[in-house]
Structure 1
């Protein structure tokens, strides 16, 4: 293809405001693409000057509410925590029964959920045997390392 022909096609693009030209002549193919124009730099926006109002002084002493104490029965429960960061699944697959439910008796080493981490499905086994008193996460929830999954009343 002749250099003069290419220059002529580029001129046609510019004159007609074209951004792309695909030209085939015999066995030769030429694709011309116009460079994107840079946008004008943003104009500065005048900043608003903040207005400060006088604020009344805080009361000298604010009494803190008493800490809420957990029931005694929750204190003696074993907290099964996740060893991984990931997504927790309480059932082996969608629509299946969950591994455990509140009130179920589980044995140490029994699979109680799955945590998907880095596209790996990791079965989480119970650290102790006992009765599941509380499920602290929901199916599909993202969990952090060390987050409590279940509370178990040990045998």
Structure 2
């Protein structure tokens, strides 16, 4: 998955691939799960107001930028530097030639971090989960009756 976003008049490519966790760990010496899992936990906790009963019955969920933006407002464990590191890693996945984060972010006079994150993060989350719909993938549970014979 790849997306080009215009930032400060420059076309910047972002990509989410299987190499994302490796690039993140190699550059920031932190396993991506220590960042992503608390983030996902808080995002999922804030979905109650966004996900309707109809959405659950149909087994579909469209993560729109406005929904993601609303969900991100409820995230308190994530630091700004974490968001910047995630975005830089996604850019590095798309273009191996970009410089280290300090140099790369310094190339921009303006970098609306949260606006860019709202556009780029859905790709990241989609790359972490199977694209199969949950509906129909879990076999129905069978009811097992207990035997009363002794």
Q: Give the TM-score range, shorter chain.
A: under 0.3
Q: Which structure ranks higher in relative contact order (CA pairs < 8 Å, sequence separation ≥ 6)?
A: 2
Q: Name the structure with the higher strand share.
A: 1
- Give the number of the structure whose residues are more often helix, by fraction: 2
TM-score, normalised relative to structure 2: 0.22
